[in-house]
Structure 1
Amino acid sequence: MVNAQAATAEAEPAAPQPITRSSTNGKVLQVGPLKPSLARTLSTDYDALLLPVDESRPAFLATHGDSVNAVVTSGRTGVDAALMADLPNLGAIVHFGVGYDTTDVEVATQKGVGVSNTPDVLTDCVADTAIGLLIDTLRGFSAADRFVRAGRWPREGNVPLTRKVSGSRVGIIGLGRIGTAIADRLAGFGCDIAYHNRREIPGSRYRYATSPADLAASVDILVIAASGGKGTQQLVDRSVLKALGPEGFLINVARGSVVDETALVELLGSGGLAGAGLDVFADEPNVPAELLDLDNVVLLPHVGSGTTATRDAMEALTLQNLDEFIATGTLTTAVVQPKAVRS
């Protein structure tokens, strides 16, 4: 007689096994923290390795470095030249995020390593963040909220008057996808909009300024939407900030590296600028302590694209790039296409 428990166990279907999409040319490596669901997918569906951040890293790379063909990382972590040297068969660096300034793209290009990011899918949310940050900064809403919560309204009366947003003169550094989306939103506020890029955009309806300083001197609000990296390192330097002046506001939703943060902190503290709205910083997650008590500064923890819908779309595009590289050796949204599939 068959044992009932055994018969039941035999009748139960086997647990589904994870689908592994590892490249036939090598392993996938996760570098740095990623969205939890993306990290789980890389581990379960791609059998991805995870780069250690402790003292075991050299031994890990000595053991596994030759086998890695694709890296998935974020714009906050990236892949530098030293790590690329430890991954001799690397074929592609896939970024979760639009930024890739933490990756040495020049070295990647020299080595024939492809680089991708996730453009377009986060444009709207970052542009929305810029508008919200701009309004909050000029109108002092966050400071007013703190004022009410501290019980100061009954004791001290009304908060000081603030600055009007509609009709302001706004300059945008970096009129790409995100910069254009910001400009188009501000046009609805009746703002006079100008911009600075490395080159003038033919047919743009917005006024072009030949330098960041010239742009800053002609506007009330300077919005930074330029890409990070060597080409824009401290593009907004002390001279640009001084041109913006004591009545001017700075809004940054791009990268902290684009601004001379030391000069920014000094001018905000001394009255050299009217205020700033910052979603990004030079040494994240560290924020200059001098900014923490300033009511004319709004500080956000790099949340420009931080909505569920946008982060899900970024995850899907990251995996699409990885799948395409594994299948064909190319990238869907390439900054640099791989030269050849590594063997």
Structure 2
Amino acid sequence: MDKVIAHISGIKKLTNQALDILSSISSVCYVKINSESELKKSLKNCDIFWFRLNHKITEEVLKNARCKYILCAVTGLDHIDIIACKKYNIKVISLKNEKEFLKEVRATAEHNFGLLLALIRKSKSAFKHVESYQWNRNLFQGEELYKKKIGILGLGRLGKIIAEYANVFGMEVYYHDKIDFEESIYTNCESLEDLITQVDILSINITYDDTTHFIINKRILSKIKKSLYIVNTSRGGVVNEDDIITFLNKGKIKGYATDVLYGEPDIEENKLIKYAEENENVIITPHISGYTKESIEKTEIFIANKFLKNFNKN
């Protein structure tokens, strides 16, 4: 590459250290992209494309791309067509499988518990109540986490951190994972059905792929013996949102809190948002669980260094 050009999309300004690393080998241009045609144009005019979750990178947008590196400081890559990237010899630099580094990035696990607490203490409706100049505490009797049984679907990096936090709250921790952690101090459930029948709260923390698409569906939800709360900080595609709504209406799900939606960021027709507008037992945040000052700084510096090592090899 004679003149290396990096395009940064959806980020106001990279962390200084990450920017210094990137600037040492390329010119840096912050771009505003509002359509697929603008995304195609950007990929045609850069060698390095840095973004997070604000675009879907499909084979169609990659067909005539000049870009040879996609940098994405996230763990889940369902918004990037990895097969197409390989086809066009584009390297994806991300946080996927960076287990040791990610042990120090805890923002998502913290948000997971923030959502759970807001859900179980009816904070959404309580906030609205006071903002309308009312003060009736009798409307908002919540529940405690202490002694509740929490089921963690996916005892990976985030699942283990959430289990630690649950332990501090005095909760009983159950989990289901495709890996059987023999050394775990928590109760292993051999199946998702077994997990969902034993717990008061289900925390979804699995990786999203073809095997976990709509893994939470009406067949699984029909196994619920007592109403439970569900928190999802994984990906929207792991749950069938229509089925979630059905079981909310049946009272089998007490409440659903999620930081992710199926098809995001295209949410104009999302039925779960419509349900949340009319019901207080659904809380939705716009995929902000990992979006803290500390995590942004750590992950951007890590991705910049990882890219530099890869770039220098070529």
Normalised by the length of structure 1, the TM-score is: 0.76
Could you tell me which residue of structure 2 aligns to residue 93 of structure 1?
A: 70
Aligned residue identity for 1:103: I
Could you tell me which residue of structure 1 aligns to residue 57 of structure 2?
A: 79
2:135 matches 1:153? yes
Could you tell me which residue of structure 2 aligns to residue 8 of structure 1?
A: none
- Equivalent position SS for 2:256: strand
Offset, 1:68? 4.9
For 1:72-221, list aligned pairs within 5 A: 72-87=50-65, 91-109=68-86, 113-118=90-95, 120=102, 123-153=105-135, 158-221=138-201
Aligned residue identity for 2:311: I
CA RMSD in angstroms comes to 3.0
Q: Distance in 1 between matches of 2:148 and 2:3?
A: 55
Q: Residue 10 of structure 2 contacts residue 32 of structure 2 at CA under 8 Å; is this kept in 1? A: no
Residues 115-157 of structure 1: per-residue CA shift (max 9 Å, x gap): 3323517731111111111111112123222223323435xx6
Q: Residue 265 of structure 1 contacts residue 291 of structure 1 at CA under 8 Å; is this kept in 2? A: no
2:229 matches 1:240? no
Offset, 1:280? 1.2
Q: Distance in 1 between matches of 2:264 and 2:38?
A: 23
Residues 198-249 of structure 1: per-residue CA shift (max 9 Å, x gap): 2223422222223322211111100011122333211111222333455201
For 1:16-95, list aligned pairs within 5 A: 24=2, 27-30=5-8, 33-38=9-14, 41=19, 45=23, 46-48=26-28, 50=31, 53-54=34-35, 56-57=37-38, 60=41, 65=44, 68-87=46-65, 91-95=68-72
The more displaced of 98-107 and 115-124 is 115-124
1:324 to 303, 309, 313: 309
- Equivalent position SS for 1:172: strand
Q: Residue 196 of structure 1 contacts residue 211 of structure 1 at CA under 8 Å; is this kept in 2? A: yes
Could you tell me which residue of structure 1 aligns to residue 295 of structure 2?
A: 310
Offset, 1:24? 4.9
Offset, 1:76? 4.4
Residues 76-122 of structure 1: per-residue CA shift (max 9 Å, x gap): 425222333333x6543221222211112244346654333235177
Offset, 1:53? 4.5
Question: Which has the larger Rg?
Answer: 1
Alpha carbons of 1:304 and 1:324: their partners in 2 closer, same or farther (altered >3 Å)?
same
Aligned residue identity for 1:102: H
Ranges in structure 1 where 5+ consecutive residues have no aligned partner: 1-22, 330-343
- Equivalent position SS for 1:170: strand
Aligned residue identity for 1:127: A
Q: Distance in 2 between matches of 1:188 and 1:39?
A: 33
The more displaced of 101-110 and 124-133 is 101-110
Alpha carbons of 1:185 and 1:292: their partners in 2 closer, same or farther (altered >3 Å)?
same
Aligned residue identity for 1:256: G
Alpha carbons of 1:112 and 1:25: their partners in 2 closer, same or farther (altered >3 Å)?
farther
Could you tell me which residue of structure 2 aligns to residue 289 of structure 1?
A: 274
Q: Distance in 2 between matches of 1:228 and 1:278?
A: 15
Offset, 1:296? 1.6
Percent identity of paired positions between Structure 1 and Structure 2: 20
Normalised by the length of structure 2, the TM-score is: 0.82
